Amino acid sequence: MRDDAGKKVSFAHVVRELVRKKQPFVLENRPLKWLYGLKNYGDIPAWINPADGDPYDVLVPGYDRRLPFNKPMVATSIIGVLWLENCNHKLAVRTDAPGFDGNLALKQISDYAHNYQKRVKVKGEWVFYDCAVGLIEPESLALRKKRAGKSHAPPPRNARARAKP
């Protein structure tokens, strides 16, 4: 078990450390209706989201099949995040599993964002991630401004560039 297992951490910490620390995540065997257009959804058991008290959520889009459940996987990169006003953000990642399709990933992300917000009745925005600068600011910064100063606010645009190696 890692030294930070089960710790409440900020979303900025998750974004900054997930790939760098090779923090494992695990895919869950959820019914398709609760995947909102995805095939692969899981969480990061070691890191707890203060917004809901559960492990941080991970989306693995871009696959036309379900990847193995309950098997620790590691993110190779961050695609982006569904930034939600309730701070229960959904982090989309890539992994080294073969068969990734970028066009399918974009479709699944779009479907997920639309279906999740409609069903859960929470507002949010999809934000792409650029490994050079961090999260790319959405067109509307209303959610970010609303959450400014909270421990799970997004890192500044250039936080990734400033992060220690």
Predicted confidence (pLDDT) per residue in 131-157, tens digit: 655 555 454 444 445 555 444 444 444
β-bridge mates for residue 80, sequence order: 92, 128
CA-CA distance, 147 to 80, in Å (whole number)? 18
Specify whether the CB–CB gap between 26 and 5 falls below 8 A.
Answer: no
- Model confidence pLDDT, tens digit, residues 31-52: 988 999 999 999 999 999 999 9
Dihedral sign (CA 82, 83, 89, 94): positive
Boundaries of every domain in the chain: 7-152
Helix, strand, or coil (residue 15): helix
Pairing of strands 124-130, 134-135: antiparallel
CATH of segment(s) 7-152: 3.90.80
Residue 142 pLDDT? 46
Q: Are 50 and 152 in contact (CB under 8 A)?
A: yes
- CA 37, 40, 135, 8 torsion-angle sign: positive
CA 129 to chain centre: 10
User: What pLDDT was estimated at residue 129?
Assistant: 80
**pLDDT at site 9:** 95
Q: Considering just the CA atoms, what is the radius of gyration of the chain in Å?
A: 15
Give CA–CA dist 133/156, Å, rounded.
9
pLDDT at 153: 44
User: Which H helix or E strand runs over 9?
Assistant: none
Q: Is 165 a residue whose pLDDT tops 80? A: no
Read off the pLDDT band of 5 (50, 70, 90). Answer: low
pLDDT, mean over the chain: 82
What DSSP character marks residue 155?
Answer: P
Residue with more model confidence, 55 or 4: 55
